[in-house]
Structure 1
Amino acid sequence: MKEKHILSAVTEISANQVRPNSLAEKNEERAVHPDIISLYETACGAEKKAIEANREETLRWCFYAREFKRMYKDFMVSNKVGEKKAKGQVYDFIIKQLPDTKRKTLCRQTQKALRIDDLFEKIGMDKLQYIKTYSADTISKFTDPQIQIIIDHFTEKLASKGINCTSVNE
């Protein structure tokens, strides 16, 4: 009889036992090792912010490149000059507004922006959402064969879905 009572108590305890992965146990473990948990969560949050920052920077360089192209084309028409001279006039205009900016730095960053924008004009701005680890700097340093691989990848994907792919040529 006594065995039945003990067996019944064990069964009752077993039935009420909390699962190992329960919220209570996780909270208890967090209380024991709060630093590692918060450090991990902070790192994950920082990673997410870095991804968004990379996308934002890339987008901003594309906007800058498009405005740069628009301006130098306008200068070509209004000032009746060639492309090289018009680009120089745009650089002069920018440096006049931002006197602390060195021309060499401006030219280098503009080339970076143009390269990034050329890629996204070909594959579509909507592909910006797929950037997770590449900064604008890294993208601008892709070689022509690497860029072609990216273009081919996205045009093949779209073609396989029956979407007509056309690249923007200027």
Structure 2
Amino acid sequence: IFKQLKTPVNDDDISKISSSKDDTKTEILLWYHYAEGFEKQVKKILNNTRITTNKSKSKVYRELLTRLVDVDLQTLQKRTQRANTVYNLFKKIGVDKIRRIKIYGFYSIADLTIPQIKTIENYFLLQQLEISRLFWIL
């Protein structure tokens, strides 16, 4: 499980972002893919067994903890929660938007409030609607 969660990153995505010499973008992308892998593992367990979502997450956490050194459950859960915030935001607005980030790092984005996240999502949704409308007119 750990290898799957640790390495779902597409090499092309990393090279595009790493070539800009911006470590914050790479960090955001890595956490995005960590959360994506975590979610996939939870769904895989849910599909193969009859246990609840919380028990599935616990199973993934336990597996990860056997592979990680000096990380306790509470720390892992908090990191995963932050990664999920970043993942859910960029899943909705597009992972390509990570390349546009210049000021904010992973923790700044992960600590956004729900209203702030909704504002960002709505902004990009409106942009997409405007683009669709332009193509519809043409």
Q: TM-score range by the shorter chain?
A: 0.7 to 0.9
CA distance in 1, matches of 2:130, 2:39: 33
Aligned residues: 114
Q: Distance in 2 between matches of 1:100 and 1:79?
A: 30
Give unmatched runs, 5+ long, in structure 1. Answer: 1-47, 164-170
> Partner letter of residue 129 of structure 1?
R
Question: What are the within-5 Å matches in structure 2 for residues 41-56 of structure 1?
Answer: 49=21, 52-56=22-26
1:123 maps to 93
1:158 equivalent to 2:137? Answer no
Aligned match of 1:59: 29
Q: Percent of aligned pairs with the same residue?
A: 32
Aligned: 1:75 with 2:75: no
Work out whether 1:88 is the aligned partner of 2:84: no
**Structure 2 unaligned blocks of 5 or more:** 1-19, 134-138
| Residues 139-170 of structure 1: CA deviation (Å, up to 9, x unaligned) | 0111111111111111111211117xxxxxxx
Query: What amino acid sits opposite 2:110 in the alignment?
Result: S
- Give 2:116's aligned residue: 146
Tell me by how many angstroms 1:69 deviates. Answer: 0.4
**Structure with the greater alpha carbon radius of gyration:** 1
The runs of at least 4 consecutive aligned structure 1 residues that moved more than 2 Å come to none
Distance 1:60 1:137 in 2: 13
More moved, 72-81 vs 88-97: 72-81
Distance in 1 (CA, whole Å) between partners of 2:96 and 2:67 is: 32
